[in-house]
Amino acid sequence: MKVIALNGSPRLLGNTSQALNVILDDLNKEGIETEYIQVYEDHMNPCNHCSSCEMRGDGRCIAEDDRMNEYLDRMKAADAVIIASPTYYGSCTAQLKMFLERAGFACRYGGYPLNGKIGAAFTVQERAGGFAVYSELVNWMLGNGMTVVGSTPLAVINAKNPFEYEKDEMGMRALHSLAQNIVKELERE
């Protein structure tokens, strides 16, 4: 079993990154292989809606100047995908948004290769907007036919400065709950 984790934060050691590592550590303890991808490092270009993915129908983006297709292949090969983002003015980061748009079109016109895969999301907010970002990520997964796993409480973490995520007791419970629910869903397969 393998889980791919996509981090949309620009900060390598920020709250989103560290919170994502909490989930990955829990999964690793259960013997699940994980892979961490820092989407922001790749400086994705936005989708220009050239419709090449629709004409080709192969589930790939025609733009080969970044790692989009490599990441799509990794997601297709994984059993589960986690997407995480900090909240930037009520939305996910611009870099992650570019990734989601291009990946979404490539998947749509490539026969929905993520259909049936497990998906999980969480976001970090300073004080507001996280629920909108959480919905944005979950809706992307649902639009790709993924089985979305949630947590109790909902995985919206409150933090601003580095390592503040640890102070959010409910947020920490949510991260561990999300990891447990991913494990349960993977074991069902």
From 119, 7, 135, 158, select the one nearest 71 (Cα to Cα): 7
At 72-109, the pLDDT tens digits run 999 999 999 999 999 999 999 999 999 999 999 999 99
Asked if residues 10 and 40 have their Cβ atoms less than 8 Å apart, the reply is: yes
65 pLDDT band, cuts 50/70/90, is confident
From 9, 168, 174, 161, select the one nearest 84 (Cα to Cα): 9
Residue of higher predicted confidence among 137 and 45: 137
Burial class (CB in 10 A: 0-12, 13-18, 19+), 91: middle
Cα separations in angstroms, 181 against 63, 110, 126, 151, 185: 35, 29, 25, 7, 6
Torsion angle defined by CA atoms of residues 5, 58, 148 and 124, in that order, rounded to the nearest 10 degrees: 40
% the chain with pLDDT above 70: 100
Locus of tokens 């809606």: 49
Of 1.20.210.10, 3.40.50.360, 1.50.10.150, 3.90.950.10, which CATH number belongs to 2-188? Answer: 3.40.50.360
The pLDDT value given to residue 155: 97
Q: What is the DSSP string of 75-89?
A: HHHSSEEEEEEE-BT
Q: Where do runs of H (alpha helix) occur along 42-151?
A: 52-56, 68-77, 94-109, 130-143
The pLDDT value given to residue 73: 96
41 pLDDT band, cuts 50/70/90, is confident
3-state secondary structure of 140: helix
At 138-189, the pLDDT tens digits run 999 999 999 999 999 999 999 999 899 999 999 999 999 999 999 999 999 7
Which sequence spans correspond to the domains of the chain? 2-188
Given a cut of 90, is residue 113 above it in pLDDT?
yes
The pLDDT value given to residue 43: 83
The pLDDT value given to residue 187: 96
